[in-house]
Structure formats: structure tokens, C-alpha cells
């Protein structure tokens, strides 16, 4: 899943989980602090804070999954997004934490491989060029070097089925005639 508006996941959900684990670790700190200070074992105070690594692992995993594990697919999907202008940016002055232009509206792309072929589902999510999500046939064929076999236009998404036609085999038997 590639969401161009929130590529690392929902920041509000991450903040909520991080806040919850932080409150939990502080509660544990309050319980063990008197014992740790009296025994002069200050390393005991560090262990409850390590639980806060868990919520930070999700955005890190999303980044590694997109940029390292599925790098080729990510680059192909992003080339389609940029060439078809499927992202609406804010003012040039507005930037994100990583000094990139702020995305106001962006598409969500779901890439799935199955025995039927490769499914690419495009959710426009309010972009200006939402009609462009229904006419990506040629661009998908060029980028993935496969043929678009079917297109499913729905109100909230467009789903493409891609398959390499050269690899399809049609079995013919004597009984077929």
C-alpha cells in the first residue's frame, strides 16, 4: 500500500499509541523508582522507557518496506503518480518535517499480486485530477511491461488487472475440436 498523503501511516494513531505507552511507562517508573534509587540500580529506570520503541517501529517498518524491500515497485508506482500529477501540493512555503512540499490531497495505491495477475487499485482521495485515475491503462502498461486486461471503475476507486500475456499458455487437446 502506497499512500502519497501519509506514506508512513496515520500520524494521529501513532501519537495515540506513543502517548499511551509513555503514560504506561511513566506509571511503571513511579512504582519502581523508590526501589531503584534505594538500591542504586539506576539501570532499572531505563527498561520501562524501552517500551516506547514499539510505536516508533511501525513507521520505520513502513519506510523500510517501501524503500528497501519493495523498492522497484515503489519507484514504478511513484513514477506513475508523478507523471500523471496525482498529488495536490500545498503552498511552496509549506513543508513537512523532512523539508518536502506538503501534500494536501494524494492518491492511495494498493499493489497486489495473485494467481490471476497483478491488481493495482487507485483511490483518488479528492485530488484535482481524479479523472486521470480512470485512464491509467497506457501508463501502467508502459511502466510494468504488462497488458491491462480489465478495469473496474467504481465510485471511490479504480482497479486494474495486469498480466503478462506472453506468459499465458492456452492448452489445446484433441477433444477441443
Residues 94 and 164 in one domain: yes
pTM of the model: 0.65
Residues 86 and 130 in one domain: yes
Last residue of a domain, one of 39, 66, 93: 66
Alpha-carbon span 120 to 112, nearest angstrom: 6
Question: Which pLDDT score, from 0 to 100, does residue 37 have?
Answer: 79
Q: What is the pLDDT of residues 13-52, one digit of tens each?
A: 777 777 888 888 888 888 888 887 788 877 777 777 777 7
Q: What is the pLDDT of residues 75-117, one digit of tens each?
A: 888 888 888 777 777 777 776 666 667 777 778 888 999 888 8
Decide if 177 is inside a domain. Answer: no
Q: What is the pLDDT of residues 154-174, one digit of tens each?
A: 888 888 888 886 665 555 566
pLDDT band, residue 175 (cuts 50/70/90): low
Alpha-carbon span 30 to 46, nearest angstrom: 12
Which residue, among 81, 94, 67, has the nearest Cα to 133 in the 3D structure? 81
Decide if 1 is inside a domain. Answer: no
Which domain covers residue 118, as residue numbers? 70-172
Question: Which pLDDT score, from 0 to 100, does residue 42 have?
Answer: 76
Amino acid at each position: 500500500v502506497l499512500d502519497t498523503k501519509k506514506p508512513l501511516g496515520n500520524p494521529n494513531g501513532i501519537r495515540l499509541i506513543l502517548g499511551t505507552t509513555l503514560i504506561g511507562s511513566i506509571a511503571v517508573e513511579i512504582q519502581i523508582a523508590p526501589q531503584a534509587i534505594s538500591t542504586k540500580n539506576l539501570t532499572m529506570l531505563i527498561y520501562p522507557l524501552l517500551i516506547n520503541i514499539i510505536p516508533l517501529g511501525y513507521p520505520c517498518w513502513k519506510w523500510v518496506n517501501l524503500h528497501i524491500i519493495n523498492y522497484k515497485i515503489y519507484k514504478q508506482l511513484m513514477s506513475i503518480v508523478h507523471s500523471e500529477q496525482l498529488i495536490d501540493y500545498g503552498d511552496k512555503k509549506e513543508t513537512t518535517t523532512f523539508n518536502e512540499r506538503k501534500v494536501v490531497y494524494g492518491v492511495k495505491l494498493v499493489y497486489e499480486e495473485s494467481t490471476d495477475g497483478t491488481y493495482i487499485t487507485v483511490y483518488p482521495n479528492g485530488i484535482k485530477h481524479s479523472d486521470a485515475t480512470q485512464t491509467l491503462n497506457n501508463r501502467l502498461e508502459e511502466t510494468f511491461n504488462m497488458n491491462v486486461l480489465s478495469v473496474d471503475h467504481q465510485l471511490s476507486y479504480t482497479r486494474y488487472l495486469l498480466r503478462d500475456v506472453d506468459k499465458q499458455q492456452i492448452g489445446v487437446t484433441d477433444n477441443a475440436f
